[in-house]
């Protein structure tokens, strides 16, 4: 029993350390490829699961401005209308590249290649643009 408790404590300590390092790298403006991929996966999953409020929380202020969205409530309403007949998005996440302070995740969604451009904002990695090839 004591051995299992020690293993759980060690695992919890490692997890907390990893999360702390991930938070530190994002706070320093240097998000990792793993963080970027995680945001991209969550972006697609939130759409597939019709969690549009979550999708909108991942978008940057720049995304809102460039698409004329007033706020998250408007964003979620627009997504509900746009994706009303949409089926599940089949997606594959590819390589991650950097462009200055921005991170670009290359992905394929429903057979179409594209990019998700991310940037650090308010302590999180947010989506600035979704671009097709």
Contact 85, 97 (CB under 8 A): no
Q: What is the mean pLDDT of the chain?
A: 82
For 1, the domain range is: 1-29
Structure confidence at residue 93 as a pLDDT band (50, 70, 90): very high
Residue in 77, 75, 83 with CA at minimum distance from that of residue 49: 83
Beta bridge partners of 98: 103
CA 17 to chain centroid: 21
- Looking at the 3D structure of the chain, how many domains does it have? 2
Query: Same domain for 68 and 125?
Result: yes
**Residues 53-72 pLDDT 10s:** 999 999 999 999 999 999 99
> What CATH number did the domain enclosing 125 receive?
3.10.450.50
pLDDT tops 70 at residue 96:
yes
Contact 105, 7 (CB under 8 A): no
DSSP letters, 86-113, are: --PPPEEEEEEEEETTEEEEEEEETTEE
User: Whole-structure pTM over 0.85, yes or no?
Assistant: no
């Amino acid at each position: 029993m004591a051995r299992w408790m020690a293993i759980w404590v060690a695992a919890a300590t490692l997890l907390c350390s990893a999360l702390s390092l991930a938070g530190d790298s994002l706070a320093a403006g240097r998000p990792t490829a793993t963080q970027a991929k995680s945001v991209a996966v969550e972006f697609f999953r939130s759409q597939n699961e019709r969690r549009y409020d979550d999708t909108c929380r991942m978008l940057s202020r720049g995304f809102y401005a460039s698409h004329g969205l007033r706020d998250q409530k408007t964003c979620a309403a627009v997504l509900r209308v746009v994706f009303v007949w949409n089926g599940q998005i089949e997606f594959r996440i590819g390589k991650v590249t950097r462009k200055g302070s921005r991170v670009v995740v290359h992905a394929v969604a429903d057979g179409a290649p594209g990019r998700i451009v991310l940037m650090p904002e308010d302590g999180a990695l947010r989506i600035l643009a979704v671009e097709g090839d």
